[in-house]
């Protein structure tokens, strides 16, 4: 009789791994045990050598679908004399940690039971099993066992306990397992003529449906926080929600009950279907069909909709037997505040936003917004570069805290991210744990959410940072947190340049360590010279960088005032290039003659006019000059609407200059203005600008390659969410033989920035 010892790390807890090991061992007549520890899964088994070899093979090949094995060690020795195989108590190992599964959507088996009148969990909103349900949002500590989750207060009834202890049951050691007898419950709170009213159980769903059909707004508690829901085909309801939420134009996310409903409103490819139905159930950006009955107010002046399928049993019940098939399902908050998670907090914060509350009493330990992704096909033949079609926009529920595995061991670090679309990142071993979406760090509430998230991650993953990395911008709240905490705890700090971090984040995803050509385009990043960068061509590795080329500087009068009013940026750009402010231009019409004089004086005297090389601000300016958008009320609005109008059949392009370390824009801007004055359609103007910019990237990368012999390029930064520019640039660079890498695991925008900060900090600490 031989003995076997196995240690497995990765996402192997909360995904049915121990039951899988148990049943596999029993089927092979092996004796021994399996247990969770905070360092992974440990197995000891006795049996014939042939069966032990088969056991090892099946452990790797047949692992549960939600698991991910990162490291697998096995050693043989003499047998231990075990007489049976069992699951033994979990063990906490001091200082050890494990990756944790994200929250995952309800599985097909649970969904079938949910609507089976003969099942004891019929229409139970919290049905789950080993293969589905809440994970990250309910976990307080590891090992992942019920006492360390927010389900600890729900004592298992005899039936649930029997399932929990039965190795042949798919609820065997499923930590959130519950039923109507012993688990959480749902109710609806609303005001009526008689005062406050509470409706329980199935009637709560019926009444919620009635309210939504009547055009009301309902706050609905989900997995990672509250949503605000209303009928997406009711213009008055959507407009009312916008007014209450203080969200003027930014698109709302939608939820539809099934793929058939989605296909009535959107064009859906096979890859998009796969993303929509994946266990993560993200919001997927889809092209809207012209015949869709979804009102324009959902996504003003855009041809794309952000759509998701129901991912909890509660959501499925919401659509059952309803007269609606499309709901706005947006985060439960006032614009720019963190999503509400606690019942009491929701009643206070959302009282003026919602007409009723669909509540439940399963606590959310950590807030987690919905993830947003899109499909971007990579049709290249190269097998070297990642060919997945996912292109993340916001990485949160369903993905976080799934780690990025790094190509080298790193010390325990904290990287605090950026101001907008903030995430933070902690590292341990060769893992980088990127946080869920925190949001824009522009208020106290978001800062507190950030601090709570950092504390939770450091506790879960047993991290005590030896250093803190942060963005160079001195006024970011995340930067202030990093510096103040470092001083308090006597820790070293590492300031990381914004655009270097973008490039390093993409390098980390793809396991790259050698220098690359990094094309980092975004709206705002603090530069080494104190200017606002954003149109940068770098030669970089994970430690250092050199700025090779950049978009030529132009003034940004009023700083944030110009960001909110692209017309200001447009006139400043014309002034800096020596071009006239023609009265026929829409941007000029935005200002009366007195305001024009004031603006010109501000530019001449350099009064509060920081210089910028920002590609995001250039897009703002040309969008305004083309007559698309003179004012914005959410980040990137001008560029998004400008891109949406581009004619894909237009082959013409404006000519940029590439010389003396700068990308010159005068020729392109002058040609654009001439086209505007000549009445050329905006669709052609937009396409010519995008085409010309892609050509300038190609020319600049070629020049850098000629100087350095580098043939690998990275495209990172928020501007690369512009799919028109991305597709055209990739095609040009790959036709020239460059290996080009884009983001596939973390967002190309500032949501992925903390990963780059962490990798750069680790590389510098290694020396």
CATH number for position 195: 3.90.870.40
Based on the fold, state whether residues 29 and 74 are members of the same structural domain. yes
Choosing from 183, 213, 235, the residue where a domain stops is: 183
Q: Rounded to 5, what percent of the chain is helix, strand, coil? A: 35, 25, 40
Based on the fold, state whether residues 628 and 662 are members of the same structural domain. yes
Choosing from 166, 183, 200, the residue where a domain stops is: 183
Residue with tokens 């993340």: 392
With respect to residue 519, please indicate whether it lies within any of the assigned structural domains: no
With respect to residue 527, please indicate whether it lies within any of the assigned structural domains: no
Residues near 129 by beta carbon (within 8 Å), at least 6 away in sequence: 107, 109, 110, 170, 171, 174, 177
Based on the fold, state whether residues 323 and 229 are members of the same structural domain. yes
Based on the fold, state whether residues 387 and 436 are members of the same structural domain. yes
The stretches in the chain having pLDDT less than 70 are: 192-195, 378-387
pLDDT digits (tens, 9 = 90+) for 472-531: 999 999 999 999 999 999 999 999 999 999 999 999 999 999 999 999 999 999 999 999
Based on the fold, state whether residues 316 and 239 are members of the same structural domain. yes
Could you give the CA distance from residue 346 to residue 354 in angstroms, rounded to a whole number? 10
With respect to residue 368, please indicate whether it lies within any of the assigned structural domains: no
Based on the fold, state whether residues 13 and 130 are members of the same structural domain. no
With respect to residue 249, please indicate whether it lies within any of the assigned structural domains: yes
Number of domains into which the chain is organized:
5
Whichever domain contains 389, its CATH number is 3.30.420.360
Neighbours of 755 (CB within 10 A): 33
Based on the fold, state whether residues 558 and 690 are members of the same structural domain. yes
Determine the pLDDT at residue 383.
Answer: 36
Determine the pLDDT at residue 743.
Answer: 97
Determine the pLDDT at residue 451.
Answer: 97
How far, in Å, are 234, 428, 457, 470, 531 from residue 479 at the CA level? 43, 21, 18, 5, 18
With respect to residue 760, please indicate whether it lies within any of the assigned structural domains: yes
Contact 526, 472 (CB under 8 A): yes
With respect to residue 460, please indicate whether it lies within any of the assigned structural domains: yes
Residue 48, domain extent: 2-87
Whichever domain contains 150, its CATH number is 3.90.870.30
Determine the pLDDT at residue 661.
Answer: 97
Determine the pLDDT at residue 379.
Answer: 59
The phi-psi region of residue 352 (left if phi > 0; otherwise alpha if psi is between -120 and 50; otherwise beta) is: alpha
pTM given for the model: 0.94
Based on the fold, state whether residues 571 and 654 are members of the same structural domain. yes
Q: β-pairing, 68-78 with 2-11?
A: antiparallel
Determine the pLDDT at residue 386.
Answer: 40
Q: What b-and-e string marks burial along 483-522, b requiring 16 or more CB atoms within 10 Å of the CB?
A: bebbeeeebebbbbbbbbbbbbbbbbbbebeebbbbbbbb
Based on the fold, state whether residues 154 and 214 are members of the same structural domain. no
Q: Which of 137, 171, 209, 392 is nearest to 283 (CA)?
A: 392
Neighbours of 90 (CB within 10 A): 19
Determine the pLDDT at residue 381.
Answer: 43
Determine the pLDDT at residue 15.
Answer: 83
Based on the fold, state whether residues 389 and 487 are members of the same structural domain. yes
Based on the fold, state whether residues 584 and 651 are members of the same structural domain. yes
Determine the pLDDT at residue 168.
Answer: 82
Handedness of CA 243, 244, 248, 254 (dihedral sign): negative
Q: Which of 476, 492, 486, 504 is nearest to 417 (CA)?
A: 476
Residue ranges with strand state E in 559-707: 611-612, 657-659, 662-664
The phi-psi region of residue 709 (left if phi > 0; otherwise alpha if psi is between -120 and 50; otherwise beta) is: left
Alpha carbons within 13 A on the beta-carbon side of 145: 13
Choosing from 54, 87, 120, the residue where a domain stops is: 87
Give the DSSP H or E segment for 660. none
Based on the fold, state whether residues 202 and 328 are members of the same structural domain. yes
The CA-CA-CA angle for residues 634, 638, 643, to 5°, reads 125
With respect to residue 723, please indicate whether it lies within any of the assigned structural domains: no
Contact 720, 503 (CB under 8 A): no
With respect to residue 679, please indicate whether it lies within any of the assigned structural domains: yes
Whichever domain contains 690, its CATH number is 3.30.420.40
């Amino acid at each position: 009789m031989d003995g076997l010892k196995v240690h497995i790390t990765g996402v192997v807890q909360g995904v049915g791994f121990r039951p899988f090991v148990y049943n596999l061992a029993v089927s092979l007549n092996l004796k021994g045990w399996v247990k969770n520890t905070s360092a992974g899964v440990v197995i000891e088994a006795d049996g014939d050598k042939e069966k032990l070899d088969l056991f090892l093979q099946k452990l790797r090949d047949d692992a549960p679908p939600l698991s991910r094995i990162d490291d697998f060690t096995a050693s043989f020795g003499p047998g231990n004399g075990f007489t049976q195989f069992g699951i033994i108590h979990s063990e906490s190992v001091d200082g050890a940690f494990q990756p944790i599964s994200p929250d995952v959507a309800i599985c097909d088996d649970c969904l079938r039971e949910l609507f089976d009148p003969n099942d004891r969990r019929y229409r139970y909103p919290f049905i789950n099993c080993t293969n589905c349900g809440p994970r990250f949002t309910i976990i307080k500590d590891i090992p992942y066992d019920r006492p360390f989750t927010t389900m600890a207060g729900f004592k298992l009834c005899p039936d649930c306990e029997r399932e929990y202890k039965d190795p042949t049951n798919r609820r065997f050691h499923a930590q959130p397992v519950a039923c109507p007898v012993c688990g959480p419950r749902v109710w609806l709170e609303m005001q009526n003529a008689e005062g406050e009213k509470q409706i329980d159980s199935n009637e709560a769903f019926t009444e919620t449906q009635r309210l939504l059909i009547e055009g009301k707004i309902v706050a609905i508690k989900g997995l990672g926080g509250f949503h605000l829901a209303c009928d997406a085909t009711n213009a008055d309801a959507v407009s009312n929600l916008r007014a209450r939420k203080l969200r003027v134009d930014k698109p709302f996310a939608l939820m539809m009950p099934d793929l058939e409903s989605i296909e009535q409103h959107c064009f859906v490819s096979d890859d998009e279907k796969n993303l929509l139905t994946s266990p993560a159930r993200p919001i997927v950006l889809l092209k809207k069909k012209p015949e869709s009955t979804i009102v324009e107010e959902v996504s003003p002046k855009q041809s794309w909709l952000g759509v998701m399928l129901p991912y909890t049993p509660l959501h499925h019940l919401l659509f059952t037997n309803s007269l609606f098939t499309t709901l706005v399902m947006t985060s439960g908050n006032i614009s720019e505040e963190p999503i509400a998670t606690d019942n009491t907090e929701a009643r206070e914060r959302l009282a003026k936003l919602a007409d009723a509350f669909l509540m439940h009493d399963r606590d959310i330990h950590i807030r987690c917004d919905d993830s947003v992704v899109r499909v971007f096909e990579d049709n290249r033949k190269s097998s070297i570069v990642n060919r997945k079609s996912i292109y993340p926009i916001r990485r949160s529920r369903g993905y976080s805290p799934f780690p990025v595995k790094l190509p080298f061991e790193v010390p325990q670090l904290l990287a605090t991210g950026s101001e907008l679309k903030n995430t933070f990142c902690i590292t341990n071993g060769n893992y980088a744990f990127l946080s869920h979406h925190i949001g824009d760090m522009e208020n106290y509430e978001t800062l507190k959410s950030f601090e709570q998230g950092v504390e939770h991650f450091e506790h879960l993953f047993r991290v005590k940072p030896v250093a803190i990395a942060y963005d160079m911008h001195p006024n970011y709240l995340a930067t202030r947190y990093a510096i103040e905490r470092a001083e308090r705890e006597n820790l070293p700090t590492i300031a990381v340049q914004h655009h270097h971090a973008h490039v390093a984040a993409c390098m980390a995803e793809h396991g790259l360590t050698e220098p690359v050509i990094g094309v980092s385009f975004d709206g705002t990043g603090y530069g080494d010279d104190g200017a606002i960068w954003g149109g940068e061509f770098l030669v970089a590795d994970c430690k250092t960088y050199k700025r090779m080329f950049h978009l030529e500087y132009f003034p940004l009068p009023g700083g944030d005032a110009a960001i909110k009013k692209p017309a200001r940026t447009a006139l400043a750009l014309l002034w800096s290039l020596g071009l006239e402010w023609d009265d026929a231009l829409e941007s000029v019409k935005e200002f009366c003659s007195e305001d024009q004089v004031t603006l010109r004086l501000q530019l001449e005297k350099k009064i509060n006019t920081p210089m910028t090389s920002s590609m995001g601000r250039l897009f703002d300016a040309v969008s305004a000059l083309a007559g698309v958008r003179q004012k914005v009320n959410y980040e990137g609005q001008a560029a998004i609407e400008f891109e949406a109008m581009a004619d894909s059949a237009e082959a013409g392009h404006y000519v940029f200059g590439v010389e003396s370390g700068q990308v010159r824009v005068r020729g392109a801007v002058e040609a654009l203005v001439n086209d505007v004055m000549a009445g050329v359609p905006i669709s052609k103007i937009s396409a010519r600008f995008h085409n010309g910019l892609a050509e300038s990237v190609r020319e600049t990368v070629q020049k850098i390659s000629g100087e350095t012999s580098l043939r690998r390029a990275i495209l990172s930064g928020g501007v690369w969410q512009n799919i028109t520019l991305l597709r055209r640039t990739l095609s040009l660079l790959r036709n020239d033989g460059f290996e080009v890498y884009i983001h596939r695991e973390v967002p190309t925008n500032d949501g992925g920035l903390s990963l780059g900060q962490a990798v750069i900090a680790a590389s510098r600490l290694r020396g």
